[in-house]
Amino acid sequence: MFRGKNYKESVKLIDKANLYDAKEAFDLVIKASKAKFDETVELHVKLGVDGRHADQQVRGAIVLPNGTGKTVRVLVFCKDERKEEALAAGADYAGGMDLVEKIQKENWFEFDTVIASPDMMGTVGRLGKILGPKGLMPSPKAGTVTPNIAQAVKEAKAGKVEYRLDKTNIIHCPIGKVSFGTEKLYENYVTLLGAIIKAKPAAAKGQYIRSCVTASTMGPGVKINAQKQL
């Protein structure tokens, strides 16, 4: 795989074999960030579970104390009488069948988060095969199917992130931007890791957090000693 000069320079800062304390890891991620834009910082947590079993699923959502640094576009599926409420809370779009058809017919995806009131899930269900693969399908576990639309919209705008296992039992989640600095990234990391630990399934055996790596969009990964948080 071809790696640019900046990436090769960044790699020299990091000892691949070392497990760093979290704050030191974020210091290194910031120093290793060479892109001309404000890179997103992500956390990748490998868990000692088998997500193929329903009783070992790990999924949820948490509002990061410092947000993600990203402007989140929120779409709300609700009845007509609740559209004003959704828009007043900060939603970018609110509607029902009109938005379902727009997505189906125009392949329209000008949004990052989808929230739905429970009475709309029969309608939204038609979009399962379209929204599901993109990770946009509303779900009660993530708090995106809720009667409290206004609160859900405000949380999404404030930096609520959803965490869930992928097929390799790893959780990938943004925790901010390089410009946040070490302290804010650390606070977000502690909040997210705490939520993941709290969500540990009763059926999980052995070491729960197998590895924890942070990296910026274009930068190399830095291993964190996550056991110190436990």
**Phi-psi region at 7: left, alpha or beta (left = phi > 0; alpha = psi -120 to 50):** alpha
Which tokens is 10 given? 């960044």
**Phi-psi region at 67: left, alpha or beta (left = phi > 0; alpha = psi -120 to 50):** left
Confidence at residue 5, expressed as pLDDT on a 0 to 100 scale: 60
Average pLDDT rounded to a whole number, residues 109-117: 95
Which tokens is 199 given? 């969500």
CA 16 vs CA 20, 56, 97, 187: distances in Å: 10, 30, 51, 24
pTM > 0.85: yes or no: no
Which tokens is 106 given? 């125009």
Which tokens is 34 given? 């060479």
Confidence at residue 142, expressed as pLDDT on a 0 to 100 scale: 86
Average pLDDT rounded to a whole number, residues 198-202: 93
Look at residues 28, 26, 3 and name the one whose alpha carbon lies nearest to residue 15: 28
pLDDT confidence bin for 15, thresholds 50/70/90: confident
Query: 4-18, 21-35, 184-198: which range is least confident on average?
Result: 4-18
**Model confidence pLDDT, tens digit, residues 146-158:** 999 999 999 999 9
pLDDT confidence bin for 141, thresholds 50/70/90: confident
The length of the chain is 230
Average pLDDT rounded to a whole number, residues 5-30: 81
Residue 162 CA to residue 70 CA, distance in Å, equals 14
CB 137 within 8 A of CB 77: no
Residue 20 CA to residue 116 CA, distance in Å, equals 41
Residue 224 CA to residue 54 CA, distance in Å, equals 28
Residue 127 CA to residue 113 CA, distance in Å, equals 14
Average pLDDT rounded to a whole number, residues 178-185: 96
Residue 10 reports pLDDT greater than 60: no
**Model confidence pLDDT, tens digit, residues 60-112:** 999 999 999 989 999 999 999 999 999 999 999 999 999 999 999 999 999 99
DSSP state of 20: B
Residue 40 CA to residue 214 CA, distance in Å, equals 11
Amino acid at 217: T
pLDDT confidence bin for 2, thresholds 50/70/90: very low
pLDDT confidence bin for 38, thresholds 50/70/90: very high
